[in-house]
Amino acid sequence: MHYYGRFDDSALVTPAVFNGHSQGYGAVSLIDNGTGSVHTGLSVNELAAGGLIHPHVHSFEEGFYVLSGEAIVTIASASYRLGPGDYAAVKVGTPHGWRAVQPVRWLQMAAPQPKPVGAERDTFFPRVSDLDEAVPSEAAALDLGDLKGNLLGHFDATQIPPPGERKNVVAGLEGVFLKWMIDEDFGARHHRMLFIEYQPGVGIGLHDHTFEEAYFILSGEVEATLDGKTYTVKAGDFVWTGVGCVHAFRNASSAPVRWLETFSPQPPREDVFRFMAAWDARARDLEGQG
């Protein structure tokens, strides 16, 4: 099973659970139970200048990557001024809130998947006596040397090394760059988020996984084959592959393609990829078909 769609900023609306608990907040769900997903909750979120999301906690883990703009984000009792390329993982039950310095937009991942409207509650709003104190309007820019015990980082396209200078490259995938941002080593427990670039002409063969993946295209275009169907996926598009979906990607354009990718649940320690070509070759060997 898979899903293909395109982000439409005219669809941004305040999520029902945040009515009365936010100002200037809009979100659009990209991947959820309505698209066939079981594990993934993926959305694009936006706050207008001066907008506010009150402090809240979830019974799911949340990861986010700032696409544009600037905001003060409070996680637990620490506040940070975040901008494009900054990212974070917010662990289950950790209070957090947002205040926009300027219009800000981010990609957000939630795992386990949030409950649909009308189901059991999974977002809660602690009582606060002073919102300006709980989510201040000023904070220092993110300092990676002083994270105050929280899980934050920064990565943007300017940090991608040229193909000839990349280390730990997988044979046959020299034109692929991966930056693991949110994963087990980072401190997350329910999902991963990574930044990927494919150079022109580079692709990965048909394979599947024991986990769901979602992909949000940042720039360029890529040819995606999902369950035997082929799509040309461009900036602003997104795709999702369910467990067992056989899929492949190839950059058939003349420019690099970049996207943000999420995994949920976190992959097993072994046999993460099941490549169809490799197993076809093994079958021929095992079964004596030459």
Domain stop point among 91, 121, 154: 154
Return the exposure string of 190-212: e unless at least 16 CB atoms fall within 10 Å of the residue's CB, then b.
bbbbbbbbbeeebbbeebbbebb
Residues 15 and 134 in one domain: yes
Residues 253 and 179 in one domain: yes
| Band of residue 260 on the pLDDT scale cut at 50, 70, 90 | very high
Residue 170 has pLDDT above 70, yes or no: no
Kindly state the average pLDDT of the residues 192-200.
Answer: 96
Distance CA 37, CA 68 (A): 27
Give residue-wise pLDDT tens across range 70-98: 999 999 989 999 999 999 999 999 999 99
| Band of residue 166 on the pLDDT scale cut at 50, 70, 90 | confident
Kindly state the average pLDDT of the residues 124-135.
Answer: 90
CA distances from 217 to 127, 179, 239, 241 (A): 38, 15, 9, 14
| Mean of pLDDT over the chain | 94
- In the chain, % of residues over pLDDT 90: 83
**pLDDT value at position 275?**
86
Return the exposure string of 150-183: e unless at least 16 CB atoms fall within 10 Å of the residue's CB, then b.
bbbbbbbeeebeeeeeeeeeeeeeebbbeeebbb
| Band of residue 142 on the pLDDT scale cut at 50, 70, 90 | very high
DSSP 245: -
Residues 68 and 103 in one domain: yes
Residues 104 and 132 in one domain: yes
DSSP 169: P
Kindly state the average pLDDT of the residues 128-139.
Answer: 91
- The whole-model pTM stands at 0.95
Residues 164 and 140 in one domain: no
Kindly state the average pLDDT of the residues 56-71.
Answer: 98
For residue 245, the domain's CATH number is: 2.60.120.10
Side chain identity at residue 20, one-letter code: G
Domain assignment of residue 101, given as a range:
2-154
Classified as helix, coil or strand, 163 is helix
Kindly state the average pLDDT of the residues 114-131.
Answer: 92
Q: Scanning the structure block, which residue is given the tokens 């390329």?
A: 85
DSSP 270: S
| Band of residue 290 on the pLDDT scale cut at 50, 70, 90 | low
Residues 164 and 116 in one domain: no
Residue 251 has pLDDT above 80, yes or no: yes
Q: Is 282 exposed, middle or buried (0-12, 13-18, 19+ CB in 10 A)?
A: exposed
| Band of residue 129 on the pLDDT scale cut at 50, 70, 90 | confident
**pLDDT value at position 151?**
98
Distance CA 95, CA 73 (A): 11
| Number of separate domains in the chain | 2
Residues 175 and 146 in one domain: no
Q: Which two tokens stand for residue 42?
A: 């993926």
Q: Scanning the structure block, which residue is given the tokens 């004596």?
A: 288
Side chain identity at residue 171, one-letter code: A
Handedness of CA 256, 66, 64, 184 (dihedral sign): positive
**pLDDT value at position 112?**
96
| Band of residue 167 on the pLDDT scale cut at 50, 70, 90 | confident
Domain stop point among 119, 137, 154: 154
Residue 3 has pLDDT above 90, yes or no: yes
Q: What is the DSSP string of 32-53?
A: SGGGT-SS-EEEEEEEEEEEEE
Kindly state the average pLDDT of the residues 197-225.
Answer: 95
Domain stop point among 90, 122, 154: 154
Distance CA 89, CA 103 (A): 21
Residues 147 and 161 in one domain: no
Q: Is 52 exposed, middle or buried (0-12, 13-18, 19+ CB in 10 A)?
A: buried
Residues 115 and 168 in one domain: no
Sequence-distant (≥ 6) Cβ neighbours of residue 80 within 8 angstroms = 72, 73, 74, 86, 139, 140, 141, 142, 152
